[in-house]
Amino acid sequence: MEISTQKQMQPPVIKAEEKVTSPWAEAWYSFKKNKLALVGTGIVIFFILLAIFAPLIAPEGINDQKMSVRLQAPSADHWFGTDDFGRDIFSRVVYGARISLWVGTFAVMGSIIVGCLLGILAGYYGKWVDSLISRIFDIMLAFPSILLAIAIVAVLGPSLRNALIAIAIINIPNFGRLIRSRVLSVKEEEYIMAAKAVGMKDSRILFQHILPNSMAPIIVQGTLAIATAIIEAAALGFLGLGADAPNPEWGKMLADAKQFMIQAPWTMIFPGLAIMLTVLGFNLMGDGLRDALDPRMKN
Amino acid sequence: MKRRFGLMFFAFILILSLGLAGCSNESGGKKTGGESGSDGGSSSGGTLVFGRGGDSTSLDPAVTTEGEAFKVTKNIYETLIEFGEQDTEINPGLAESWEESPDGLKHTLKLRKGVKFHDGTDFNAEAVVFNFERWKAGNKEQFYYYNSQFGDVIKEVKAVDEHTVEFTLNRILAPFYKNLAMSPFGIASPDAVKEHGDKFIENPVGTGPFKFKEWKRNDRVTLVKNEDYWKEGLPKLDEVIFRVIPENSARLNALNTGEVDIIDGVNFSDVEAIEGNPDLQTFYRPSLNVAYLGLTNTRGPLKEKKVRQALNYAVNKQSLIDAFYAGAAEPAINPMPKSVAGYNDAVKDYEYNPEKAKELLKEAGFENGFEIELWAMPVPRPYMPDGKKVAEAIQKDFADIGVKAKIVSYEWATYLEKARMGEADTFLLGWTGDNGDADNFLYVLLDQDNIDSNNYARYENQEVHDLFIKAQSTNDQAEREKLYKEAQVLIKEDAPWIPLIHSEPALAGRADVTGFKAHPTGSDELATVEFKK
């Protein structure tokens, strides 16, 4: 941020120095003032660190079964208690952060890439390309998203990777529509007209001018989408269509625990809390970003 | 591709059925609640609702080997010989007495007089002959239990007079009478068979204590009292309804609310809570089962005997029992439970010893382990209430010796079909004995004749086969036991399975149910059941 501000300031300008800041720096300034957004960012960073340093933090492995200590309540030895295989729930929740963040991030990245491509094509070229792509999006949005995800996983075969693919696919139309509408408005701007007039190639206009100028809403939507993607991954895991056996995916941990809900509630509470917290973190952060990046939200 | 569409279809059906289950539970609950409310005052026997995990595949017991089917037909049909109340000793049934020729090849049965089928026709020697000819004439696919139990052994069945039947055999069949007592060989009304043809599987007519009324697939089978039943004073109930509630905990809930009166497939972890509830009681089914992990003998590394033995050393059975059976089970050593005559006590189990297992793998040339599939059954069975959890524990045991197992599961019918055709590497399965004879475990599950049938592990050993046939063809009980004991030693050495557990399945009922006796074969006669007043 600092650097870009400097760059902007390099050309000698007449206006007061304080006022001339890049839109990014301005956004960062208003983001910093938003307490909730900072809390959300804190939570997200916490879980990212948890995921990176899982082997150092977790006292046990993900599948260290010890039947002699099954279903034990939280204690000094096992902070979050043990599950029905005598595995340390704390360790599994910590490792589970890796899976959830991995699925959330990569699924959303996948949908952004494909969604942007399709959205740009639809918005920029219009006509039948637009109709075709938009109708496909309409069809996909007509399905309840989780049902579509279940169907896709059922076709591909249940596994974590396929769950990721399914989640990426169901989120494509959201990004596609978003980018299409951005492209529609940006392409009428004067600088694009100018670029066209100079004879710049379509691809260069698209990727050097239109795309960068449509980034802000995508970042906002992307952050919020990670939250939904994590929930969807957990839902698939809960239905037995996500991570397979020993993997400590939070949704799967919930499904395994539901039998012991009354007898050993900690088997459900901690994975549930983990899901809730990460989703909350991404949502707060995403809301903060929207407030900061959306020009209309400024007073 | 086909399988994928199947799976997809299955997923949709699952969702659909979840929705429907929600609706039907509610309406069903109200209805039966009203009915049982009205029995209290009147002097009638009332309606008993039996909650179970799966629907019948057929109501003609002759075309299936599946336990949920027999559970119902046991109360509609009767067999010539009957098992004891809670054992598999032979007792008079539709036959009052029987006689065997000195060479063991001719059996003469005297039939009970004055018995009528539910459609009013007489039960007599002609009807018995008709049934056996029907099973014999049908193709192997259709009457496949008849073929594996009597197939080429019964030469002729003849009506000597109105109430006497004579069986002529090609060779001695030691478990002949026990086989006659099995639920699949219930005697059906010849008129009804002729009348209904292909539809006979949903229009059963027998001589039993209850008459068939209605079958709503995947929901309920309703039976009503047979007023003309030949046993004096029985049955006590007016009506019996078998209801399907797939989820173990939902079934227990239905029992708690009084929607159903008896349930099977109780989670072992729930037993304590049931016993502490004064409104409920528990029943135990005498153990006559075995749960095992089949090691398909024709696939990859599993072709090697040493590998199969190594896997046997790797599994910690006691920890499975502690974790998933609440201790109500014992580790299995042989392919049949101890109560079956001919069980070999001298056979030593492969003890839990991962080090030994690794050594054996090294000897077999798999020092770095290998990858296999581990199939887990999708439904609760009496011998294994939660296949997926057991699979996860075994997966860990295998991982400890360097064998990487991937847990796989299919919808139940597909699972059985694929495993039967030898498509699984290792698979969880089990068996509940149908007549309590060693033949019904060892020969049925492990003889090379039964590959493509119940020998899912595709185990083949000529020596073992010879022992089985010899044991079938002699009536000398001591000799038979000796032969089966010998066979068990060979089987242990070859290790076609990992025998896991013999369990004592738990059932539960409302406290006012009396006279219910859980039968080891899994088919319970409900004629003597009544409600305490």
β-bridge pairing B95-100 and B106-111: antiparallel
Nearest-by-Cβ selection for B249 from A67, A84, A259 = A259
More confident: B8 or A16: B8
A30 forms beta bridges with none
**How many CA atoms, within 13 angstroms, populate the side-chain half-sphere of residue A17?**
5
Q: What pLDDT sits at residue B386?
A: 82
B399 and A CB contact within 8 Å: yes
Q: Is the dihedral of CA B406, B411, B415, B416 positive or negative?
A: positive
User: Across the interface, do A151 and B393 touch by the CB < 8 Å criterion?
Assistant: no
User: Across the interface, do B7 and A155 touch by the CB < 8 Å criterion?
Assistant: yes
β-bridge pairing B289-295 and B426-432: antiparallel
Which 140-169 residues of chain A touch chain B by CB within 8 A? Answer: 147, 150-151, 154-157
Q: What pLDDT sits at residue B143?
A: 79
3-state secondary structure of A39: helix
Q: What is the pLDDT of residues B26-68, one digit of tens each?
A: 333 333 433 443 343 345 788 999 998 888 888 888 887 777 8
In angstroms, the CA A116 to CA A134 distance is 13
Q: How confident is the model at residue A271 (pLDDT cuts 50, 70, 90)?
A: very high
User: Across the interface, do B269 and A263 touch by the CB < 8 Å criterion?
Assistant: yes
Q: What pLDDT sits at residue B286?
A: 87
User: Across the interface, do B392 and A245 touch by the CB < 8 Å criterion?
Assistant: yes
Which H, E and C letters describe B133-161, residue by residue? Answer: HHHHHCCCCCCHHHHHHCCCCEEEEEEEE
3-state secondary structure of A238: helix
Q: What is the pLDDT of residues B390-449, one digit of tens each?
A: 999 999 999 999 999 999 988 777 888 899 889 999 999 999 888 888 999 999 899 998
User: Across the interface, do B396 and A154 touch by the CB < 8 Å criterion?
Assistant: no
How far B95 CA lies from chain A's nearest CA (Å)?
A: 48
Q: At which residue do the structure tokens 């279903």 appear?
A: A71
User: Across the interface, do B10 and A154 touch by the CB < 8 Å criterion?
Assistant: yes
User: pLDDT averaged over chain B?
Assistant: 86
How far A159 CA lies from chain B's nearest CA (Å)?
A: 11
User: Across the interface, do B319 and A67 touch by the CB < 8 Å criterion?
Assistant: yes
Q: How confident is the model at residue A5 (pLDDT cuts 50, 70, 90)?
A: very low
A84 and B CB contact within 8 Å: yes
How far B394 CA lies from chain A's nearest CA (Å)?
A: 11
Q: Which CATH class is domain A50-62+75-297?
A: mainly alpha
User: Across the interface, do A150 and B395 touch by the CB < 8 Å criterion?
Assistant: no
Q: What pLDDT sits at residue B156?
A: 86
Q: What pLDDT sits at residue B60?
A: 87
pLDDT at residue B315 greater than cutoff 60: yes
Q: What pLDDT sits at residue B2?
A: 46
When scoring B270, B320, B371, B395 by the number of chain A Cβ atoms within 10 A, the one with the most, hence best to mutate, is B395
Q: To the nearest whole percent, how much of chain B has pLDDT over 70?
A: 91
**Number of Cβ within a 10 Å radius of residue A220:** 21
User: Across the interface, do A246 and B395 touch by the CB < 8 Å criterion?
Assistant: yes
How far A245 CA lies from chain B's nearest CA (Å)?
A: 6
pLDDT at residue A223 greater than cutoff 70: yes
β-bridge pairing B426-432 and B371-375: parallel
Residues of chain B positioned with their CB less than 8 A from the CB of A263: 269
Q: What single letter denotes the amino acid at residue B350?
A: Y
| Residue of chain A whose Cα is closest to the Cα of B390 | A85
Q: What pLDDT sits at residue B37?
A: 39
Contact present, A38 and A282 (Cβ < 8 Å): no
Residues of chain B positioned with their CB less than 8 A from the CB of A157: 4, 7
Distance of CA A132 to the CA centre of its chain: 27
Q: Domains in chain B, start-ordered, CATH in brackets?
A: 77-190 (3.90.76.10), 210-286+506-531 (3.40.190.10), 289-503 (3.10.105.10)
User: Across the interface, do A65 and B396 touch by the CB < 8 Å criterion?
Assistant: yes
The structure tokens listed for B75 are: 């109360």
Q: Where are the domains of chain A?
A: 50-62+75-297
Q: What single letter denotes the amino acid at residue B456?
A: Y
| Residue of chain A whose Cα is closest to the Cα of B13 | A151
Q: What pLDDT sits at residue A10?
A: 52
How far A246 CA lies from chain B's nearest CA (Å)?
A: 7
How far B18 CA lies from chain A's nearest CA (Å)?
A: 12
A21 and B CB contact within 8 Å: no
A60 and B CB contact within 8 Å: no
The structure tokens listed for B353 are: 């010893």
B501 forms beta bridges with B291, B331
Nearest-by-Cβ selection for A246 from B7, B269, B392 = B392
In angstroms, the CA A221 to CA A111 distance is 11
ipTM of the complex: 0.74
- DSSP conformational letter for B457: T
Helix, strand, coil percentages in chain A from 3-state DSSP, rounded to 5: 75, 0, 25
In angstroms, the CA B63 to CA B184 distance is 8
List own/partner pairs for B323-327 with CB under 8 A and 24 or more apart: B323/A67, B323/A70, B323/A84, B323/A85, B323/B389, B323/B393, B324/B268, B324/B385, B324/B386, B324/B389, B324/B390, B324/B393, B325/B268, B325/B385, B325/B501, B325/B503, B326/B268, B326/B269, B326/B271, B326/B272
In angstroms, the CA A121 to CA A117 distance is 6
More confident: A262 or A98: A98
A65 and B CB contact within 8 Å: yes
Q: What is the mean pLDDT of residues B187-198?
A: 87
How far A93 CA lies from chain B's nearest CA (Å)?
A: 18
CA distances (Å), origin B183, targets B65, B82, B119:
9, 9, 20
Q: What single letter denotes the amino acid at residue A250?
A: W
Q: Is the dihedral of CA B319, B321, B324, B327 positive or negative?
A: negative
| Residue of chain B whose Cα is closest to the Cα of A64 | B396
User: Across the interface, do A157 and B4 touch by the CB < 8 Å criterion?
Assistant: yes
Q: What is the pLDDT of residues B231-269, one digit of tens each?
A: 888 889 999 999 998 888 889 989 999 999 999 888 887
User: Across the interface, do A147 and B15 touch by the CB < 8 Å criterion?
Assistant: yes
Nearest-by-Cβ selection for B8 from A84, A151, A263 = A151
Residues of chain A positioned with their CB less than 8 A from the CB of B395: 245-246
Nearest CA among B225, B212, B179 for reference residue B80: B179
Tallying the residues shown for chain B, one arrives at 533
Q: At which residue do the structure tokens 């000799």 appear?
A: B479
pLDDT at residue A9 greater than cutoff 90: no
Strands across the sheet containing B154-161: B95-100, B106-111, B164-169, B154-161
In angstroms, the CA B345 to CA B350 distance is 14
Question: Nearest 5 degrees, angle CA A222-CA A226-CA A231?
Answer: 145
In angstroms, the CA B203 to CA B213 distance is 9
In angstroms, the CA A86 to CA A90 distance is 12
In angstroms, the CA A161 to CA A114 distance is 17
Q: What is the pLDDT of residues A176-219, one digit of tens each?
A: 999 999 888 888 888 888 988 888 888 888 888 888 888 888 99
